[in-house]
A and B are shown apart, each in its own frame.
Chain A
Amino acid sequence: MSRYGLLLASILFAAPVFSAPVSEDPLERRMLDIAKDMRCAVCQNQPVSESNADLARDVRRIIREQLEAGKSREEIIAYFVERYGDFVLLKPRYEGAGLVVWILPISFILILGVSAFIFIRRRLRAQLPPPPELSEEDAARVRAARQQEAP
């Protein structure tokens, strides 16, 4: 992969696309940035950052404590994955079973993109078949239809 490819990939895959809830407190902000990528296990499709369930509050407290203890984002996430499995990650990891959902969309766009390119190129050079000849009978029907319509 070229340097630009790497750069592009790092922008696409590293930058959060939609914002976490904003907070003034930097520690709180770091906590929410982690919490927004974690599933609240007792909720229905809600991240820990947005849930008001007791469990989510506990998770937020634990993240905060671990941040205060100087742990990194990766270490904290590893802590939860170790206990609850990949299930708690709202975004699958770039490895193992999770890799599939990252590789396939890229292959979709490559495969379909290349096919579309080839398709258009082929149609650019296409020798078109001459329009099919109308049978005498059909031609008569066309004439009749046209006549009927003529004012």
Chain B
Amino acid sequence: MLSDSLSLNLVELGHFAAHLALAAALLSGLLPLAARWLRAPWLVNLSGNAAIAVFVLTTLGGLTLIHAFVTSNFSVLYVAQNSNLALPMFYKVTALWGGHEGSLYLWVWILALYTVVVAWYGRSRYPQHLPVILAVQGWLMVGFFGLILFLSNPFERLFPAPVDGNDLNPLLQDPGMVFHPPMLYLGYVGFSVPFAFAITALLTRWRSELWIGLIRRWALIAWGFLTAGIMLGGWWAYYELGWGGYWAWDPVENASFMPWLLGTALIHSITVQDRRRMLHTWNIFLVISTFSLSLLGTFLVRSGVLSSVHAFAIDPGRGLYILAFMTIVLGISFGIFLAKGRYQQAQEAITSFLSRESLFVWNNVLFTVACASVLLGTLYPLVLDALTGARITVAAPYFNLVMVPIFLMLLLLMGIGPLVPWRKANPERLKRRLLLPAVAGVIAAVLLPFVFGKVYWTGPVAVGLITFVLGTLMTDLSRAVRQRRAQLNEGIGRALLKTVLGNRRHYGGMVVHFGVVVITVGLVGSGLFRSEISVSMAPGDVVEIGGERLRFEGVRRFRRANYETTEGRMTLLNSGRVVTPERRRYPRQEAPMTEVGIDSTPLRDVYVVLIEPPAGDTKNIPAGTPSATEGGKWAIQVYVNPLVQFIWFGGVIILSGLGLSLSGRRKRAREAKALAATTSVPAK
């Protein structure tokens, strides 16, 4: 009983800590204002301490929640709803973000973490602006804590406590889904740092040369986490949902894709500002919009306005708070932007249409249009329904139609852009450099239908562009290596290494581009060349699809820790390997869950789903008995997905390229330091 009352008190302690965290966040939001109103400038020195206090208190609250999960303290409503005694320990801990309340808590916890890192990192680098930055983040935390503590409280108690809890949604009992939300949130929340910098810059007329390098890093880090989160989400959908695909243009997927698209525009146009001192205003707009979309993404998923696979928490009662919070954040930040956005003029002109900076502008046009179109397709049906009651559907066929051409144009730009120098390109030289990749691309596009048969127009175009981009990437690298070898007489390996490591920002970016190409290969392969068949099979039957022959061996039944399973066996006759798709029954769930059986090679996945047992299937067969003798036919779905593994490889390549890019030091740190002497743009 003692331990019971102890864990009871721990939860109350955590609950109290969360309230204190709200107070500390409010304090850090008020400090710069108070310092001005009370004419007590020393007050701002408390900002850093307030940030630390918020983080420590939030962590305390989070740890007591995790403790409640680990000790199965079902007197906490949220624990009772999302965990039970039989749940494996790993999922008990991570069930913290398995539901609505806990995932909002995770969001604010990550925000507190970022804030404390910014405070620590900035105390010597940008001390004058730090209190304002921390105040912006403080207000964001106030908004989230308000929602958590008053409307979606994970500390809420349940009396009397049930003997056992409900269950974590079985779909979430998967490593992909365990790491997907934290990664996504690290991305979403990461964009709050550039956001806070941008608002601060507007309010204090902070010279853009001084903050652009700082937000570049934060934006890249946030972008990397967001990329990882989206990739994990796709990977999870592919392995867990059993429909053979990884991306469905589901509103919830779009919710994470929108900030990614605008974030990608941002990390490109930041470079223009950093190198050529223009686009300040546009970048501030992008930063604010990207973070707004991150907020929108969180709330679309978490407010239950979308009825889809991901919206596990459905409670429209919170909708009003969320709508009000979004309106306030967007209203204030865009209001400040409109009032003060043009505080600094561009300091350089564009010399030519054929210049890196001009191509970056076109990159931004395309990414922005892509993002706006996804936003339109996602929100329009909701708005239309709310306003007129008319219900229409905007789904995958629409998004593919609109997005694929934009994506192809971006591929083309991706091939040309890195070969075009800043300021002004020599058209003759550029033509010479692009000629070989372009010819290779055209040949590849023309050959494709001859080799693989009739295919939709996107296939040859995409394959041609893939070849073209690979060609220009090689041209870019080989030219630099050749020059280096000619000058320094180095061996090829050493020259290659030195070239890449010598300009990590550039080559990191090129590695990311290479990763995008690899993903595109996977998208083309699995999108255009996938084959699929639904069959009824009795044990011993053989099915042929996409050059593969599979024999159904029958099913076995097992009882595992927290579910029962029926495991099918399919032998791939070409290789002799076996895949084992399952149908699982979790005690607290009505519908059975399917687990996909996948045999992966780099060139193709064979993907098998047990759809339905034979009619009149007897349930009382003892566990472990081979039931190949059972009559009746199983409904089975088999997909052959070519090149799907390229998508996941490509994701890993993108993240390594990002790491390479981030490991580069800023060349112009000295210059910035000298500039730091004058920090704000004088008002006119």
Q: Would you call B376 and A104 a contact (CB within 8 A)?
A: yes
Q: Does B294 contact A (CB under 8 A)?
A: no
Please report which residues of chain B, range 517-548, place their CB below 8 angstroms from some CB of chain A when the two chains form the complex: 527-534
Residue among A19, A36, A119 with max Cβ neighbours from chain B (10 Å) = A19
Q: Would you call A141 and B361 a contact (CB within 8 A)?
A: no
Chain A: CB-nearest residue to B361: A116
Q: Does B477 contact A (CB under 8 A)?
A: no
Residues of A within 8 A of B380 (CB): 100-101
Q: Would you call A149 and B350 a contact (CB within 8 A)?
A: no
Residues of B within 8 A of A85 (CB): 391
Q: Does B368 contact A (CB under 8 A)?
A: yes
Would A19 and B530 be within 8 Å (CB), given that A87-B393, A91-B401, A119-B361 are in contact? yes
Q: Does A105 contact B (CB under 8 A)?
A: yes
A6-B250 Cα distance, complex, nearest whole Å: 31
Q: Does A18 contact B (CB under 8 A)?
A: yes
Q: Does B38 contact A (CB under 8 A)?
A: no
Q: Out of B347, B365, B673, which one reaches A128, CB within 8 Å?
A: B347
Residues of A within 8 A of B682 (CB): 132
Q: Would you call B397 and A22 a contact (CB within 8 A)?
A: no
Q: Does B404 contact A (CB under 8 A)?
A: yes
Q: Would you call A92 and B398 a contact (CB within 8 A)?
A: yes
Q: Does A4 contact B (CB under 8 A)?
A: no
Within the complex, the shortest CB–CB distance from B534 to chain A, in Å, comes to 8
1/0 per residue, CB under 8 A from A, across B368-385: the answer is: 110011001100100010
1/0 per residue, CB under 8 A from B, across A80-99: the answer is: 00000111111110000110
Residues of B within 8 A of A141 (CB): 677-678
1/0 per residue, CB under 8 A from B, across A1-26: the answer is: 00000000001110111110111000
Q: Does B670 contact A (CB under 8 A)?
A: yes
Choose, from B64-72, B186-194, B351-359, B561-569, the stretch at the interface: B351-359
Q: Would you call A105 and B368 a contact (CB within 8 A)?
A: no
Q: Does B325 contact A (CB under 8 A)?
A: no
Q: Would you call B369 and A90 a contact (CB within 8 A)?
A: no
Q: Would you call A124 and B457 a contact (CB within 8 A)?
A: no
Q: Out of B369, B530, B532, B677, which one reaches A105, CB within 8 Å?
A: B369
Within the complex, the shortest CB–CB distance from A123 to chain B, in Å, comes to 4
Q: Would you call B394 and A101 a contact (CB within 8 A)?
A: yes
A36-B244 Cα distance, complex, nearest whole Å: 14
Q: Would you call B532 and A21 a contact (CB within 8 A)?
A: yes
A44-B368 Cα distance, complex, nearest whole Å: 28
Q: Would you call A86 and B361 a contact (CB within 8 A)?
A: no
Q: Would you call A17 and B401 a contact (CB within 8 A)?
A: yes
Within the complex, the shortest CB–CB distance from A44 to chain B, in Å, comes to 5
Q: Would you call A45 and B348 a contact (CB within 8 A)?
A: no
Chain A: CB-nearest residue to B351: A124
A57-B600 Cα distance, complex, nearest whole Å: 30
A18-B247 Cα distance, complex, nearest whole Å: 12
A89-B398 Cα distance, complex, nearest whole Å: 10
Q: Would you call A123 and B350 a contact (CB within 8 A)?
A: yes
Q: Would you call A89 and B392 a contact (CB within 8 A)?
A: yes
Would A92 and B351 be within 8 Å (CB), given that A18-B400, A112-B365, A112-B369 are in contact? no
Chain A: CB-nearest residue to B409: A109
Residues of B within 8 A of A52 (CB): 534, 611-612, 635, 637
Q: Would you call A109 and B674 a contact (CB within 8 A)?
A: no
Q: Would you call B678 and A18 a contact (CB within 8 A)?
A: no
Q: Does B89 contact A (CB under 8 A)?
A: no
Within the complex, the shortest CB–CB distance from A105 to chain B, in Å, comes to 4
A124-B309 Cα distance, complex, nearest whole Å: 50
Please report which residues of chain B, range 99-150, place their CB below 8 angstroms from some CB of chain A when the two chains form the complex: none
A44-B350 Cα distance, complex, nearest whole Å: 49
Chain A: CB-nearest residue to B528: A19
Q: Does B308 contact A (CB under 8 A)?
A: yes
1/0 per residue, CB under 8 A from A, across B296-323: the answer is: 0000000000011100000000000000
Would A13 and B308 be within 8 Å (CB), given that A98-B392, A104-B376 are in contact? no
A104-B376 Cα distance, complex, nearest whole Å: 8
Q: Would you call B527 and A18 a contact (CB within 8 A)?
A: yes
Within the complex, the shortest CB–CB distance from A148 to chain B, in Å, comes to 9
Q: Would you call A45 and B365 a contact (CB within 8 A)?
A: no
A: contact size bracket: 35 or more
Residues of A within 8 A of B394 (CB): 90-92, 101
1/0 per residue, CB under 8 A from A, across B333-352: the answer is: 00000000000011111111
Within the complex, the shortest CB–CB distance from B165 to chain A, in Å, comes to 25
Q: Does B396 contact A (CB under 8 A)?
A: yes
Q: Would you call B457 and A11 a contact (CB within 8 A)?
A: yes
A111-B582 Cα distance, complex, nearest whole Å: 51
Q: Does B331 contact A (CB under 8 A)?
A: no
Q: Would you call B372 and A17 a contact (CB within 8 A)?
A: no
A75-B250 Cα distance, complex, nearest whole Å: 28
Q: Does B402 contact A (CB under 8 A)?
A: yes
Q: Out of A44, A90, A100, A126, which one reaches B346, CB within 8 Å?
A: A126
Q: Would you call B347 and A131 a contact (CB within 8 A)?
A: yes
Chain B: CB-nearest residue to A131: B347
Q: Would you call B677 and A12 a contact (CB within 8 A)?
A: no
Within the complex, the shortest CB–CB distance from A23 to chain B, in Å, comes to 8
Residue among B358, B398, B612 with max Cβ neighbours from chain A (10 Å) = B398
Residues of B within 8 A of A100 (CB): 376, 380
Q: Out of A12, A97, A123, A124, which one reaches B401, CB within 8 Å?
A: A12
Would A91 and B678 be within 8 Å (CB), given that A17-B400, A44-B308 are in contact? no
1/0 per residue, CB under 8 A from A, across B76-96: the answer is: 000000000000000000000
Q: Would you call B347 and A17 a contact (CB within 8 A)?
A: no
Q: Would you call B393 and A86 a contact (CB within 8 A)?
A: yes
Chain A: CB-nearest residue to B388: A97
Residues of B within 8 A of A45 (CB): 248, 250-251, 308-309, 395
Q: Would you call B456 and A120 a contact (CB within 8 A)?
A: no
Known: A52-B534, A120-B353, A131-B347. 16 other contacts (CB 8 A): A16-B456, A17-B400, A19-B529, A37-B397, A45-B395, A91-B394, A97-B388, A101-B394, A108-B372, A109-B369, A109-B406, A123-B278, A126-B350, A128-B347, A128-B349, A132-B682
28 sampled A-B residue pairs with Cβ under 8 A: A12-B401, A12-B405, A16-B456, A17-B400, A17-B458, A18-B400, A19-B456, A21-B530, A39-B393, A44-B250, A52-B612, A86-B391, A90-B393, A97-B384, A101-B376, A105-B372, A108-B368, A109-B365, A116-B361, A116-B362, A120-B361, A126-B349, A126-B350, A128-B346, A134-B678, A138-B678, A142-B675, A146-B674
3 closest A-B pairs (Cβ-Cβ)? A141-B677, A90-B395, A123-B350
